Amino acid sequence: MTSAPRVVRLEDYAVPDWLVDSVHLDFDLHPRETVVSARMEMRRNPEAGGPEIVPLELDGEELEHLSLRIDGREAAPSEYVVDDRRLVLPRPPADRFVLETRVRIDPEGNTALSGLYRTGGNYCTQCEAEGFRRITWWPDRPDVLSRFTVRMEADAEENPVLLSNGNLVGSGPAGDGRHYAVWEDPFRKPSYLFALVAGDLGVREGTFTTMGGREVTLRIWVQKGKEARAGWALESLKAAMRWDEERFGREYDLDEYNIVAVPDFNMGAMENKSLNVFNDKYILADAETATDKDFENIEAIIGHEYFHNWTGNRITCRDWFQLCLKEGLTVFRDQEFTSDLRSRAVKRIEDVRNLRARQFPEDAGPLAHPVRPDRYAAIDNFYTATVYEKGAEVVRMLHTLLGEETFMRAMDIYFARYDGTAATVEDFIACMEEASGRDLSQFFRWYTQAGTPHLAISQDHDPERGTLRLTITQSIPDTPGQTNKKPHHIPLRIALLDGAGRELPLVTEDGRRLDDGLLEITGRRQSFVFTGVKERPVLSANRGFSAPIRLETGQGLEELLFLMARDRDPFNRWEAAQTVARRLVLDEPHERTQSLSEYAAALATVVRDLRETDPAFLAEMLRLPGVNVLASFLESDVNPQALHDTRNRVLARIAGTLEPLLRETFDMLAVTESWSPSHEQAGRRAARAAALSLLMHADGDAAARLARETWERATNMTERAMAISALSQSASPLREEVLDAFIGRFGDDHLMVDKWLAWHATWPHRDCVERVRALMESDWFSLKNPNRVRSLVGMFASANPVAFARADGAGFALVADTILELDRLNPQVAARLATTFRNWRTYEPVRRERAREALERIAASGRLSGDLGDIVTRTLGTA
Ligand code: 0A1
Ligand code: ZN
């Protein structure tokens, strides 16, 4: 069993006793033995108080301690204590002194990919959250901000490129075929933003002139020979820099901006000051190898990391409980970036889809935690959908409540007041209060209470008096460690529609007119009465998904179909269509027949209505909820196979009715101009993909032929993916044929191997378990590379409910075996993979037992990492 991890609590926060004003780091880089020397200017923190002498404690992990000097002299053994996690000076010599340490580390042996490690033959670092302590002794917490100077020395031939944060201030030969570079970062920063890269890389370069006239050199570093695939990333970076100036008034602050793409990375990317490191999957793109979705993701993630320069780097977090301060806010910013550049409606739908698929299930299970957690055993496990995506929803609600202008005024106050500091969520909210003059204390509960609020709305129309009363009740489910929650402050955007879909004026009993349709819900039960409502209107509620809640309006099929056709809020049009589709699958069979044909007819109208004007939106309307989303609406007795079968029957009926129209639409939307990753072209391809995939449910053979033709004629990766994804829905032998052809053609490109593994992993068939096991044994797979693991095993567990939750437990066993083996190499990725079990209690009894066995087998296997142990004990409820 694992040793009980130390739990860190928000309430125990205390300012650091010691600060590091500046540090000189020296790296003597060798693959197996790198020596790191640190010269730190230590100073007692005047804000800490305490007795005259306060020990200095530094964090360290997997460091081989070599030497320690205090104020230039060798420290005596009695002056310090070292163990495998800490270096302590019980009696530091003075309130200011210079501490010099030397340690040896092993980059090549670092399979955890945290700290300094090797990837693609190069050196690279990852320090968030607690990786810096795997490089050198340090007070490894985000509220210790220091000025960094970094010297590195390495073999010149193998490592012509030497990079770190800030500005290059010196370089030259260092003898013995080695060379060196010195980098100085003028901005004080916490250790988690430190980065170093050394190796042999190709570069794509550009420039950007900021609004203040500073010319910035932009460089995207990639594996040699792939420079041509870095063009989109470079353009995206320029777009992000321009957008942050225009929308948030934020300018870049250094003369250089470097991005390095690496093939081995635990997450998507990292915002290190002026030296971002990216998973190369989020950099490399061209028509041949990347789908439209890849292009969109690259743009968004480049934006995300760039936006961190102000929300994260210039203003960082006081402690890791405040993670959402940088992440929720920065996700909100990247969502706005994509919305402004592309389609606001489609982006909102994508984000809500993602929230429902990942965050709602998290919030409803044993791993639920507040947007700002108040305790953790392993901080790596809190890079969650709740902190990121729900965190962004909370910022979005503030934006909704305050309006763009006031919100931006609050942001300006925040930037001015906290620049150069490590802040808290309270600091941020105080700026919002100051700019708006509002009391946001109730709103603050969004940060402290976990669980997705349920809202129910009932309507009472009085035709005689011409009034409509909306009665709204809210409740928040219990979550681990939290019961009896208090009501939230919820911005609920609504409209009342007349028979033609026009919005009625919203006039309350006291004569107030709500021009923006925004209701503020604050009580457990609240009523709103609107006057001048003669005919019974149709309610459009939570427009634009103004709050991240589960909503029950009690609306029937007729009203939902009306909203699907007529609502001017595109999000709610989509929402109504999703609700009907969901009910078609989840309701009793006898309730389906009539509804099915009405739904198919409504969908046909939508297709005709949108295919020429907004194909990207049409694509969303045609994508019906998948098994995981359907399951997330059930609290118990989930049987993914049964859901899958029913869903397929429903899809077959719909597709059967729509077949000629879908076929016609597919042909009509073909892109004939030369390829571009533009939103317009991408929208057409997305609508064709959705049509083709639905067609596969109608007449398997005809559609399979169409998919094959699509594959053969494809001139870009989006069209290839369109064909393969469609075929993946079927049992057609063509699927295998096309997958073989794909790997034959693209097998020497690791990112294409990932796509291929993911298609295999998501084949919704029980035999997929054996297929995945076989692929794991093949040379295509490696447990050491996180992208391979996520593409094959991660996708299997998170996006193939039919096979993962196979009734005999073989899918669970496969994932459990992988987790155990992986934990010895890379605990972060192993722990993340284990979160795929988070909703195990909602399965029907047989599957639930199988999942429990798999989890208990992991728990009992001895010597789990802290990260994995934390997930497993919380998931089982034994924490
Ligand atoms: N701050 C990064 C995410 C990130 C977090 C942890 C990492 O290593 C364990 C790496 C990246 C972001 O939000 O993009
Ligand atoms: Zn981030």
Q: Per residue in 179-237, pLDDT tens?
A: 999 999 999 999 999 999 999 999 999 999 999 999 999 999 999 999 999 999 999 99
Rounded to 5 degrees, φ, ψ at 471 are -110, 125
Q: What is the pLDDT of residue 2?
A: 44
| 271 touches ligand 1 (CB under 6 Å) | yes
Tokens 């804000």 belong to 47
| Pocket lining: 270 vs ligand 1, CB cutoff 6 Å | yes
The dihedral over CA atoms of 6, 7, 13, 18, expressed in degrees to the nearest 10, equals 20
Work out the average pLDDT over 613-623: 98
Please report the atom of ligand 1 found closest to the CA of residue 305. Answer: 14
Mean pLDDT of the region 41-62:
96
Q: What spacing in Å lies between the alpha carbon of 270 and ligand 1's midpoint? A: 5
Calculate mean pLDDT across residues 269-295: 98
Q: Considering only CA atoms, which residue is closest to atom 11 of ligand 1?
A: 270
Whether the CB-CB separation of 764 and 758 falls below 8 Å is answered with no
Mean pLDDT, range 635-645, rounded to an integer: 97
pLDDT, one tens digit per residue, over 702-719 is 999 999 999 999 999 999
Give the pLDDT mean for 267-283.
Answer: 99
CA of 861 to the centre of ligand 2 (A): 34
Ligand 1 centroid distance, CA of 186 (Å): 23
Edge-first strand order for the sheet with 18-28 is 73-74, 64-70, 96-105, 34-44, 18-28, 147-155, 178-184, 167-175
Does the beta carbon of 236 sit less than 6 angstroms from any atom of ligand 1?
A: no
Q: What is the pLDDT of residues 566-612, one digit of tens each?
A: 999 999 999 999 999 999 999 877 777 789 999 999 999 999 999 99
To the nearest whole number, what is the mean pLDDT of the chain?
97
State the distance between the two ends of the chain, measured CA to CA, in whole angstroms.
13
- Residue of 128, 296, 305, 327 marked catalytic: 305
CB 472 within 8 A of CB 456: yes
For 493, residues 6+ apart whose C-beta sits below 8 A from its C-beta are: 400, 516, 517, 518, 519, 542, 543, 544, 546
Q: How confident is the model at residue 4 (pLDDT cuts 50, 70, 90)?
A: low
* Contact indicator for 165, 189 with CB cutoff of 8 Å: yes
Q: What is the pLDDT of residue 594?
A: 83
pLDDT digits 0-9 by tens, 720-757:
999 999 998 877 789 999 999 999 999 999 999 999 99
User: Is any ligand 1 atom within 6 A of the Cβ of residue 327?
Assistant: yes
- Measure the CA–CA gap between 807 and 845, rounded to whole angstroms: 10
1 has pLDDT over 60: no
Q: How confident is the model at residue 384 (pLDDT cuts 50, 70, 90)?
A: very high
pLDDT at 356: 96
What are the pLDDT digits (tens) for 304-334? 999 999 999 999 999 999 999 999 999 999 9
The protein residue whose alpha carbon is closest to atom 8 in ligand 1 is 128
> CA-CA-CA-CA torsion for 208, 213, 217, 218, nearest 10 degrees?
-30
Per DSSP, the three-state class of 751 is helix
On the 0-12 / 13-18 / 19+ scale of CB atoms within 10 A, 338 is buried
Pocket test for ligand 1, best of 330, 383, 388 (most atoms within 8 A of CB): 383
Distance of CA 761 to the CA centre of its chain: 21
**Helix, strand, coil percent values for the chain (each to nearest 5):** 45, 20, 35
Phi first, then psi, for residue 60 (nearest 5°) are -160, 155
The pLDDT score that the predictor gives to residue 862 is: 85
Which residues lie across from 721 on neighbouring strands?
Answer: none
Instruction: Give the pLDDT mean for 788-806.
Output: 98
pLDDT value at 518 more than 80:
yes
pLDDT at 50: 87
Half-sphere CA count of 458, side-chain side, radius 13 A: 6
Ligand nearest to the CA of 278: 1
As a whole number of angstroms, the distance between CA 401 and CA 862 comes to 50
Instruction: Record the tokens describing residue 576, joined without a space.
Output: 């109504």
The H-or-E segment that residue 472 falls in is: strand 467-475
For residue 837, give the DSSP letter. Answer: G
CA dist., res. 571 & res. 587, Å (int): 24
Confirm or reject: Cβ of 269 under 6 Å from ligand 1: yes
Whether 769 lines ligand 1, by a CB cut-off of 6 Å, is no
> Which residue's CA is the nearest one to ligand 1's atom 7?
128
Which residue lies with its CA nearest to atom 12 of ligand 1?
270
Span of 141-150, 588-597, 710-719, 828-837 with lowest mean pLDDT: 588-597
The predicted pLDDT at position 258 comes to 99
Round to whole Å and give the CA distance between 175 and 190: 33
Cβ 384 under 6 angstroms from ligand 1 = no
Nearest ligand 1 atom to alpha carbon 304:
14
Task: Give the whole-angstrom CA distance, residue 68 versus residue 82.
Answer: 11
* Range in 241-255, 373-387, 729-743, 806-820 the model is least confident about: 729-743
- Summarize the confidence of residues 135-154 as an average pLDDT: 99
In ligand 1, the atom with minimum distance to the C-alpha of 265 is 10
Distances (CA, A) of 510 to 319, 401, 522, 818: 47, 21, 19, 63
Chain segment 29-49, per-residue pLDDT in tens = 999 999 999 999 999 999 999
- Residue 812, pLDDT above cutoff 60: yes
Q: How far is the CA of 123 from the centre of ligand 1 (A)?
A: 18
Provide the β-strand partners of residue 164. 196
Atom nearest to 388 CA in ligand 1: 13
Distance from Cα 124 to the centre of ligand 1, integer Å: 14
pLDDT digits (tens, 9 = 90+) for 646-664: 999 999 999 999 999 999 9
Supply the DSSP symbol for 836: G
Distance 281 CA to ligand 1 centre (A): 15
Q: Which residue has a Cα nearest atom 2 of ligand 1?
A: 270
For 756-786, the pLDDT digits (tens) are 999 999 999 999 999 999 999 999 999 999 9
Ligand 1 geometric centre to CA of 861 (Å): 29
Ligand 1 near 128 CB (within 6 A): yes
Q: Which of 371, 538, 540, 345 is nearest to 453 (CA)?
A: 371
* Residue 52 annotated in active site: no
Burial of 648 (0-12, 13-18, 19+ CB in 10 A): middle
Q: Cα(297)–Cα(294) distance, rounded to whole angstroms?
A: 5
Sign of CA dihedral 245, 250, 255, 260: negative
Ligand with an atom nearest the CA of residue 142: 1
**Rounded distance, CA 422 to CA 402, Å?**
25
Peptide bond into 364 cis (omega under 30): no
Ligand 1 pocket mutation pick from 116, 117, 125, 128 by most atoms within 8 angstroms of CB: 128
Nearest to 458 by CA among 551, 375, 388, 383: 551
Distance 815 CA to ligand 2 centre (A): 28
266 lines ligand 1 (CB under 6 A): yes
Closest ligand by atom to 270 CA: 1
Residue 672 burial by Cβ neighbours in a 10 Å radius (0-12, 13-18, 19+): exposed
Report the amino acid identity of residue 573.
Answer: R
In this structure, the number of other CB atoms found within 10 A of the CB of residue 361 comes to 21
Averaged over 834-838, what is the pLDDT?
98
Ligand nearest to the CA of 282: 1
Residue 232 confidence (pLDDT): 98
pLDDT reported for residue 191: 99
Q: Using the mean position of ligand 1's atoms as its centre, give its distance from the Cα of residue 138 in Å.
A: 20
> What residues does 8 pair with on adjacent strands?
376
Q: What are residue 259's DSSP bridge partners?
A: 220, 276
Please report the atom of ligand 1 found closest to the CA of residue 828.
Answer: 9
Q: For residue 180, what is the enclosing H or E element?
A: strand 178-184
Angle, vertex CA 454, rays to CA 449 and CA 458, nearest 5: 145
